[in-house]
Amino acid sequence: MRSITILGATGSVGASTLDLIRREREVWRVEALTANCSAKELAALAREFDAKVAVVGDEGCLADLREALSGSGIEAAGGRSALCEAAARPVDITVAAIVGCAGLGPVMAAIEQGGTIALANKEALVSAGDVMTAAVAKHGATLLPVDSEHNAIFQCLQGNTIEEVRWITLTASGGPLRTLSADELHAVTPAQAVAHPNWDMGAKISVDSATMMNKGLEFIEAHHLFPVGLDRIRIVVHPQSVIHSMVEYRDGSTLAQLGPSDMKVPIASCLAWPRRMETGCEPLDLVAQGELTFFAPDEERFPATRLAREAAEAGGSAPAVLNAANEIAVAAFLDGQIPFTRIALSVEDTLAQSDLPPAPTSLDDVLAVDSAARERARALLEIA
């Protein structure tokens, strides 16, 4: 038996993880499941998998969770501190899939217990990369990347060393709006932005894919996971999403990881590492696929990758400001408050008009930068 905690069990990554566990139910013991709220859904999952504890991040949902778990013997808890306590429980693997900076505290708690963390929260490394990687080294934890691109790179690096790498290439689908003109982008609706042609993701990540900010955040994340230098990481648009990323070595060899557009594949890679497991995904049919195409990113229409690269080059607190401003802008777009093209502009304005503090040295520092950047981003959106 292997023990597992899933932070963000009701989201898309959490759902895919639980589907994989169902395939090998006799192998897994579920320690803790968490969600922001979704009390009834979380309780149903906790009962199905006989979890020891279920936690809602929104303490206002705790009463509903307790009612839904009544008579089950499963512990119910709520609030940010309860999330961190659940993450700190010693298990064989923790799947960290809480979206946004809300996941920072739980990810750090999981790292500090020294286990293996399957990281699907890219904001943890974007906003707190140096802090997180230092904690991983201090506590002897293991980070396994769940993002399909970083998981692909991780697989392509097996048996090789960072010193032998010439290039890391992150592939990007280009999202659902790749072919639209600048004028058409201005009129894009939330429904259009979340309708990804290849991947089934949550609303925030889908909008990030549409703006290409998702790839910008992944650029920063890759910099922390695979320290080859910023000048050796590049982005290529690959609309078919068959090649999930590539690593080129100094001898001219390029290794690529290919697979279906299904998050079960990289999640399974982490759950079974260093072995493999069945996923139930349809095998990749390259003959049916027909062709694979590649393009350079258009940073005129989609400036988010440029902004992320500049924030990474600036270092210090700039990536945390970038991430915070983007979360505020995406939420405003999804609420119908700003047009699609205003998302990246808002991030750029926030970076330009913020007095960037020194590089964070602790999680409290990161959270302080995040909070201040959010206030600045909100203020600028009100001015706009």
**Annotated binding-site residue? 13:** yes
Dihedral of alpha carbons 219, 223, 229, 232, sign? negative
Instruction: Please state, in angstroms and rounded to a whole number, the distance separating the CA atoms of residues 33 and 52.
Output: 8
**Annotated binding-site residue? 206:** no
**Annotated binding-site residue? 323:** no
**Annotated binding-site residue? 127:** no
**Annotated binding-site residue? 72:** no
- Enter the DSSP assignment of 21: H
**Annotated binding-site residue? 24:** no
As given in the structure block, the two tokens for residue 10 are 């009701």
**Annotated binding-site residue? 147:** yes
**Annotated binding-site residue? 341:** no
**Annotated binding-site residue? 214:** yes
Q: Do 256 and 242 form a contact (C-beta atoms < 8 A)?
A: no
Instruction: Please state, in angstroms and rounded to a whole number, the distance separating the CA atoms of residues 124 and 183.
Output: 34
Q: How many residues does the chain have?
A: 384
**Annotated binding-site residue? 173:** yes
Strands of 75-78's sheet in order across? 75-78, 53-56, 28-35, 2-7, 93-96, 116-119, 142-145
Instruction: Please state, in angstroms and rounded to a whole number, the distance separating the CA atoms of residues 280 and 267.
Output: 13
- Could you give the angle at the alpha carbon of 332 between the alpha carbons of 326 and 334, nearest 5°? 100
Instruction: Please state, in angstroms and rounded to a whole number, the distance separating the CA atoms of residues 236 and 229.
Output: 17
**Annotated binding-site residue? 52:** no
Please, where are the H alpha helices in 195-263? Answer: 203-211, 213-225
**Annotated binding-site residue? 12:** yes
**Annotated binding-site residue? 149:** yes
**Annotated binding-site residue? 70:** no
Per the annotation, binding residues for 1-deoxy-D-xylulose 5-phosphate are 122, 148-149, 173, 196, 209, 214-215, 218
Per the annotation, binding residues for NADPH are 10-13, 121, 123, 202
Per the annotation, binding residues for Mn(2+) are 147, 149, 218
Per the annotation, binding residues are 10-13, 121-123, 147-149, 173, 196, 202, 209, 214-215, 218
